[in-house]
Amino acid sequence: MTKGIFITMEGPEGAGKTTILEMLYKHYKEKGIKIVKTREPGGIRIAERIREIILNPENTEMDGRTEALLYAAARRQHLVEKVIPALEEGNIVLSDRFIDSSLAYQGFARGIGIDEIWKINEFAISSVMPDLTLYFDLDPETGLARINKSTDREINRLDLEQLDFHKRVQEGYYKVIEKFPDRLYKLEASQGIEDVFEQALHAIDSLLNK
């Protein structure tokens, strides 16, 4: 099977995942560690095209199950084309989102059901799961305020959801943590960027030093 280490980053909109991922990537790259960074949905051409459909603010009529299936399709292609080959080459793979996003957003917040979304994604991932998932915990109000202040972040369809939806997403992530307590590591994302980075670094170094 795979020889590398698969690390994913999860959390609500505006939690700072992408910023911390870039900092971690640079840190380990400078230490000479083989590392690959990527994102979901996206990371490769086909998945990026699916991303454009899912997150396009104009596609407000999209059904929740359609959304879930599109995420799973993008996830599958991303896995077989980028993640698995990188792991087989012995890389650390840092991914901005993975299966837990679907469980929290579509499974819980959309009301489809965490178990139902899990079944869809079991078919897509073929048992490939992260070795560690960093969950950036942040209240929705703060996350959305950060998004509104940012001038260089894309505004996607999920950002346009009402506050109540984002509160359900947070609750959904708490349900996912209950389901996978040994894999998910909660970070206090309300802290300063350097403090959050140190939390993430500690969690990853603890895994690498096992």
All structural domains of the chain: 5-208 (3.40.50.300)
Q: Is the pLDDT of residue 150 over 80?
A: no
Per-residue pLDDT, averaged over 56-80, amounts to: 96
- Burial of residue 7 (number of CB atoms within 10 Å: 0-12, 13-18, 19+): buried
What Cα–Cα distance (Å) separates residue 30 from each residue in 83, 195, 210?
21, 20, 21
Q: What percent of the chain has pLDDT over 70?
A: 96
Per-residue pLDDT, averaged over 108-135, amounts to: 97
Computed over every residue of the chain, the mean pLDDT equals: 94
Task: Report the pLDDT value the prediction gives residue 153, as an integer from 0 to 100.
Answer: 66
Question: How does DSSP assign 176-187, residue by residue?
Answer: HHHHSTTTEEEE
Q: Is the pLDDT of residue 1 over 60?
A: no
Q: Is the pLDDT of residue 26 over 50?
A: yes
User: 93: which residues sit within 8 A by CB, 6+ positions away?
Assistant: 4, 5, 6, 7, 35, 36, 37, 38, 83, 86, 87
Task: Report the pLDDT value the prediction gives residue 151, as an integer from 0 to 100.
Answer: 64
Q: Is the pLDDT of residue 2 over 60?
A: no
Q: Is the pLDDT of residue 159 over 80?
A: no
Per-residue pLDDT, averaged over 129-157, amounts to: 86
Task: Report the pLDDT value the prediction gives residue 149, as an integer from 0 to 100.
Answer: 81
* Distance linking the first and last C-alpha atoms of the chain: 19
Task: Report the pLDDT value the prediction gives residue 161, as an integer from 0 to 100.
Answer: 83
What is the C-alpha separation between 114 and 118, in angstroms, rounded? Answer: 6
Task: Report the pLDDT value the prediction gives residue 107, as an integer from 0 to 100.
Answer: 98
User: 39: which residues sit within 8 A by CB, 6+ positions away?
Assistant: 18, 95, 96, 97
Per-residue pLDDT, averaged over 108-116, amounts to: 97
Q: Confidence class of residue 154 from pLDDT cuts 50, 70 and 90?
A: low
8: phi then psi, degrees, rounded to nearest 5: -115, 160
Task: Report the pLDDT value the prediction gives residue 146, as an integer from 0 to 100.
Answer: 87
